[in-house]
Structures are given as C-alpha cells and as structure tokens.
Chain A
C-alpha cells in the first residue's frame, strides 16, 4: 500500500511529539538545579528538536506542496498540532519534568525499536538513529527518578505528586486511532497497544526501586491526536512561533 498522505500525517504527529517535548525541555536552559544538569537538559532538548526536524522534513517531502519543516513548526495553529498531551504540559518543578520525561522515554524506546522495523525505510532510518539516543535518555531518567524518589522527604513527596499528576496522561500513548490502525496493517506504523506491557514493566520496576507508589488507573485525559489541547498549549505556541507571528515570512 502506498499512501503518502497518511504517512505524512503520521510523520507529522511524531514530529509534533518531539518538537513540543523538546520545547518544554528547552525552557530549563539556565534554570536547571545545577550546571551539569542544565547542559544535560539542553542536550536532550536538542535531540528531540533534531528528531522533530527529521520527521517534519519527511512529512514536507511527502506533502510536496511547498510545505517545509519550518511551516510545519511555525505556521500551524493549535488545532493542527497532534502531539500527545503529556508532551505539552507546563514544565512544573524539576521532579515533574524528570518524571514526565521518564514516563515518555519508557514508551519512546520500545516505540523506536519497533519503528525500526517499519516497511517505510525513511521512518525506519530515523528510528534507528533516535533509538540510540533514547536508550541514553531512559537510563538517565531512571537514575533521576530513583535518586529523587528514594531521596529526601521533600524530593520524594514532589516526585510522587508528579507521578500522580501525570498518570492519567499516559493512557493516550497506547491508544490506536484509525490512522494508526491503517498504517499498522500496512506494516508502516507501530502497534502501540502491544507496547503497554513493556512500558508498565519498566515503569513499575523503576518506581518501586524509587520507593514510590504506582497509581491506579482511575482517570485519563486524551485529545492531543485529534487536536484538542490543554489550556497551556496556546501559550507555548505563542512563544515558539513568536517571530513568525510578529514578522510573517521572516528568514534569518
């Protein structure tokens, strides 16, 4: 099956996840708890923004209508972005950012390992590249969760709070919609439902090590994939797209 429009849409949503999470991470620049952590967060943000560029470039090529990676990032409005909600939530305190990243990386690593076997060569190549970085991100994130959870009374309380506040946003990662299903059937997209046990295993192991409680699945929020976002998202885009909104068509 050759369906460039569907693949472009799929690549765009993967690009959206990376760009928005990368942007949230970049907000830590000069604000991290100490210098080395500042550099680390900046580097991880760069990995994600680089990944977004790869997915957007591919989506733009498939669209073939003058769309570019920049128009995808800078000239779409809220409802046109299809990132997972967990990626866009405000950065919160350090514990919140660490936990968000850990929960996402624990999903992202098996996702990329599966996407590596996509019948779409370009998506497979991006995944093979990004997988190596995500392995590192997950290792680092797991260490931080252990250190903060099994740390002081305050760090433990904040980390548990972050886990509780984020939990309901994790379900969306494993929900297939019609586009996913069509591309899974064609051997292009990843069957995300199948990743859930792997994710649960990683998350439970690390949270337990960190002396934290794994929450019950009592609530869930979704909507990112259909363009319904949290109220923070407009503010994020206002900053991300400021130059293009103030000076349309500006180039460096």
Chain B
C-alpha cells in the first residue's frame, strides 16, 4: 500500500471553500472569522466547518450552519456569537438556517486549523491509530474514556509525560 502523503479534500469541503471564494459578500465571511468555537476558542466556526454558506440580500444576512454533533449545546452559542459579531458590524437582520446534509466531518478541518488545535492542547482528529500527545508529541497514549469534556472529544492519557488530554474524535 502506498502512503497517502497529501490528504484528499472531500468534495463537499472543496465546494464550501469555493462558495466563500465565489461569494459576493466576502466582508461578511471576514466578520464571521472572529466567531470562535466556544470550547476550542482558537478555531473559528468557518475553520471548524460549521459555517456552510453566507448570503446577503436587501439588508438581510442569511447564514447556513451545520451541527458538529446533533445534540451539541455549543451550536446555540455559536449562533448567538455569530449574531452578536454581525450586529457589531452593523448587520442587525440575520436569518439562520440549519442544514444537516452533507453531514459534518472532521475531514473538513484544514492543516493550519489542526495545528492550532494541537497547540491549544487538543489532539487533532487523525485515525485512532495515529494519536499524538499534544504536550510532548509521544504516540504512546491510552484511552481513558470514549467521551471527554464534550461530545466531540475523547479523553486520553500520555504514557510518556503522564498528562491527560482531549482528543478531537475523527468522524
């Protein structure tokens, strides 16, 4: 088997990035870059893949969001934070649509986003066999619990440095 050196981008993620490039409201996307995941506040909702599309028509901003996990309570916070950031930028009328399909995947996270996550102390989503301690980089890790502080994370422990850490599950 040949090692896959260049991670392939799923088509739906390519389409999402293209929507931003083709968008005629680039400034609104830029405003939303300041809205962070409340649990991992170094990753924006765009980087996370939650922000799917942005539209603007006659004073009304339309956002399309997709949930990470169906029951994730942070979704409401992200929506409120997006509304607050837009209000501050002068957009008072915001409509939010939740879209389930295509189902969110950690495969959408870019390499820079993964690096930021790792620096923040959360092991970025890789296959279960390829988890590295975000503190010391060791691959000698053990699972403590399949669910960590939030639905999207599992709790691990590093056997080398002894630190427990969150692992952002690959789904």
Contacts and interface: CB of A to CB of B under 8 A. Distances in A.
Contacts of B147: 36, 39-40, 43-44, 140
B103 A47 contact: no
> Which among B104, B144, B171 has the greatest number of chain A C-beta atoms within 10 A?
B171
Size class of the B contact interface (CB-based, 8 Å): 20 to 34
A58 to B, nearest CB: 10
- Provide the main secondary structure of the chain B interface: loop
Given A49-B71, A125-B101, A128-B103, A39 B149 contact: yes
A121 interface: yes
Contacts of B150: 43
A158 B145 CA distance: 22
A54 B146 contact: no
23 contacts: A36-B144, A40-B147, A46-B72, A46-B73, A46-B151, A47-B151, A50-B67, A50-B69, A50-B71, A54-B70, A122-B100, A125-B101, A128-B100, A128-B101, A129-B100, A130-B70, A131-B103, A132-B171, A133-B70, A136-B146, A139-B146, A140-B146, A140-B147
A182 to B, nearest CB: 25
Contacts of B69: 46-47, 50, 133
A126 interface: yes
Contacts, number: 74
A37 interface: yes
B101 A121 contact: yes
Interface in A64-98: none
Given A37-B145, A50-B70, 19 more contacts: A36-B144, A36-B145, A39-B149, A43-B151, A44-B147, A45-B71, A46-B73, A48-B71, A50-B67, A51-B71, A122-B100, A124-B101, A125-B103, A128-B101, A128-B102, A129-B101, A129-B104, A133-B70, A143-B146
A47 B145 contact: no
A127 to B, nearest CB: 9
Given A39-B147, A39-B149, A129 B71 contact: no
A36 B155 contact: yes
A47 B70 contact: yes
Interface in A8-47: 36-37, 39-40, 43-47
Interface in B42-90: 67, 69-73
A39 B148 contact: yes
A46 B100 contact: no
B109 to A, nearest CB: 15
Contacts of A121: 101
Contact of A40 (B71, B72, B146): B146
